Amino acid sequence: MFSISRNPLRWTALSFLVISLLIAGCTVESSKAPVTPPNGDSTNEQTVQRDAPAKPRVVRISKMDRPEEPKPDPSQPIGVPSPAFSGEVSPDAVVIDRTGTYGGRFVYAILGEVETFNPVEPKGATDQEIRALVFSPLVTYNNGKWQTEPALAKNWEVSDDQLTWTFFIRDGIRWSDGEKLDVEDALFSFEAVFHPQIATSIKDGFKHPETGELPEVMADKERNALIFKLKRIDSQFLTHVGNVSIIPEHKWRDHLQEKDPTLLQQMTSNANPADLVGCGPFVLKQYVPAEKIVYQRNPHYWKVDSRQQRLPYLDEVVIVLVKDSNLMWQKFEAGELDIFEDVPADHFREAVAMEKEAKASLIRLGVSLNSNWVCFNLHPGKNPDTGEPFVDEAKAYWFNNLDFRKAVNHAIDRDGIKRTAFQGRATAIWSSITPGNKSWYHAGVPKYPHDLDKAKKILDDMGWTDRDGDGVREDDQGRKISFSLNTNVENNLRQQVGNLISKDLVNLGLEINFKPIVFNDLVTSLRDSHKWDMILLGWGSGVPPDPANGKNITLSSGRLHAWYPQQPEPATEWEARIDNLMAMMDEELDDKVRKKYYDEVQELIGQNIPILYLIAANSYAASQEGRIGNLWPSLLRPQMTWNLESLWKAQP
């Protein structure tokens, strides 16, 4: 599933492992811990070792997007977990091939604010990433290996016709409140996502692209298994399953009413931390709006390391909430943050300076999979309360004109954006698939190179000229062409891009009101209120980075189909064709054939340009020198916190 990205930075094919599973219909087995692993109690002979841990080995990476996997070190001191673990570990516990030292507080930062902790409908990229700290899915994705792996499901089976999937839930797992987790919790979680009155973009991935049908789901209590009956072959079904966080039925069953369910009103940003019962590596300890989120170890977590020590190693995780990327960098430079993900181009030189002084490790990951774009509002609807159109008549007339959009595309100087805002560390793009996604990149999409004279001629030929000499063009009906451009105020780099685009469009003879606003308000405008003219934002890559995971954007019915979301029927013939291609792509297991389908999708979007793709930044991350162990940076997001359960911190 793709998400709206706060950052201007991050989509390759699903791993061969998963495709092989789909073709062969075989079962995946996870590594299992011994039936009697250590209980993590502080009296355990091993856990009382108090030797100072060695400094973690520094990650040294030069122009590569697959950093090497950390290696276990049997001599690594174990330390003492505080708070301690509780109860017995699951006999089906996952074994992670790592070693580390218990203790420490891991600190990093995110831009903006939390909108909700509810994993059924995360509102943006931040909400999606932080849900993994508290909640777990049936299957997960290893960002280091770029492959799907078992999570709460210890294995699964697929029928020969690819239409029946059976997931076997691990035995002995407990929720963070000590209650037992079983298949009823898994069934409840999918019933919540599939509920007809619960609006969630996670549901879009399961929908048949043409009919909107959802799979049937049922529980086999005797086998502790969850069974799905699909309506058609879905090459990305494992990914969609992995997008669903499992939530406790015993806690929320009364809020999944058949009519007017109240589940989305639970686990919000103002909820009691104790109500966030999960089975992820951490539990919510404290949330201070506009300041920080504090997590502590989940005492019932179900993974162990190569020495059979229970995970996670970290006692506490603190996420600092900051207003802009400059402040975030200042905190990292001052040593207040352990890592910095998505180092922006305007701080690259400072990061290099820290690297030369051996203060930080700068990780070069290649061209980002994330895309930056601008989009016009093409929604034809009206506000149901006021009857006012979402887009007024004049603006709708301009925005829906393909030649106008072509002129705007030619007027935008992507090379200028690259030089000025990104200091040359970026690549111009014409599709959501960036050159960093080598398996799905299509070099043959339509391109609109910067040519101001050509852009002006297009508008001149339409009769949209400056008739009164004030520097602003009027359309052929004499209306001044003036509209607003919005982006998120928290992102300094994106504001630079917005200013550059505004100048380009002023040079074309348009009047632009550039106004950055709060990210969550921007997302609300895009998805719900539909009251906007032109937006500058970015797509955060799906994980795994298969374009089928962007159906919430690509399908005409998708909630993030930015220019006109949740269309009851495709508004245009080309959107109907894209819906059809996405359905064909879903049912095809051969990636070479799927690639041809998606090439056509990209071409259709490029020909009709409802959304104008701009640039993909080079992707960098940084960590304080020698401070964090088991870092395994990835081009996929989140770059360095995807394996948070196995990170450990060298003590001061």
Output the pLDDT for position 492: 86
More confident residue, 586 or 249: 249
Backbone CA torsion sign across 130, 136, 139, 144: positive
Please work out, in degrees rounded to the nearest 5, the angle formed at the alpha carbon of residue 500 by the alpha carbons of 3 and 327: 60
The DSSP symbol for 645 reads G
Q: What pLDDT score was predicted for residue 5?
A: 58
How many angstroms separate the Cα of 383 from the Cα of each of 93, 391, 479, 526, 559? 51, 10, 24, 14, 17
What is residue 559's predicted lDDT score, i.e. its pLDDT?
A: 86
432/308 same-domain check? no
Q: What average pLDDT does the segment 368-376 reach?
A: 96
What is the total residue count of the chain?
Answer: 652
Query: Are residues 613 and 625 located together in one domain of the fold?
Result: no
Closest of 639, 128, 144, 129 to residue 343, by C-alpha: 639
Q: Are 512 and 536 in contact (CB under 8 A)?
A: no
pLDDT tops 50 at residue 190? yes
Residue 157 has pLDDT above 70, yes or no: yes
Question: Which pLDDT value is given to residue 496?
Answer: 95
Q: What's the confidence (pLDDT) of residue 204?
A: 81
Q: Does 156 share its domain with 303?
A: yes
**For residue 253, what is the DSSP state?**
G
Residue 202 has pLDDT above 80, yes or no: yes
Q: Cβ–Cβ contacts within 10 Å for residue 223, how many?
A: 12
381 and 499 fall within a common domain: yes
Backbone angles phi, psi at 196, to 5 degrees: -65, -20
% of the chain residues with pLDDT over 70 = 89
User: Cα(257)–Cα(279) distance, rounded to whole angstroms?
Assistant: 24
Q: Whole-number mean pLDDT of the chain?
A: 89
The domain in which residue 196 lies consists of: 3-41+50-366+619-649
Q: Is the peptide bond before 652 cis (omega within 30 degrees of 0)?
A: no
Do 95 and 241 fall into the same domain? yes
Mark whether 153 and 252 lie in a shared domain.
Answer: yes
pTM here?
0.80
Strand partners, 540: 3
386 pLDDT higher than 80? yes
Q: Which residue has the tokens 């043959």?
A: 444
Q: State which H helix or E strand residue 638 sits in.
A: none
Both 102 and 173 in a single domain? yes
Asked whether the predicted pLDDT for residue 603 surpasses 60, the reply is yes
pLDDT band at 195, cuts 50/70/90? very high
Where is average pLDDT lowest: 22-31, 181-190, 426-435?
Answer: 22-31
CA 574/CA 604 separation, integer angstroms: 7
Q: What is the pLDDT of residue 66?
A: 67
CATH code, domain carrying 301: 3.40.190.10
Verify cis geometry, omega within 30 degrees of 0, for the bond prior to 53. Answer: no
Domain count, the chain: 2
- Domain shared by 592 and 450, yes or no: yes
Is it the case that residue 29 has pLDDT exceeding 80? Answer: no
On whether both 431 and 382 belong to a single domain, the answer is: yes
**42, amino acid identity:** S
**What is the C-alpha separation between 271 and 48, in angstroms, rounded?**
37
| Residue 50 pLDDT grade (very low, low, confident, very high; cuts 50, 70, 90) | very low
Same domain for 354 and 236: yes
Q: CATH no. for residue 427?
A: 3.10.105.10
Per-residue pLDDT at 31 = 37
Whole-angstrom distance, CA of residue 620 vs CA of residue 364: 5
In this structure, are 495 and 548 located in the same domain? Answer: yes
Dump pLDDT digits (tens) for 53-74: 556 654 444 344 567 899 999 9
Residues 312 and 389 in one domain: no
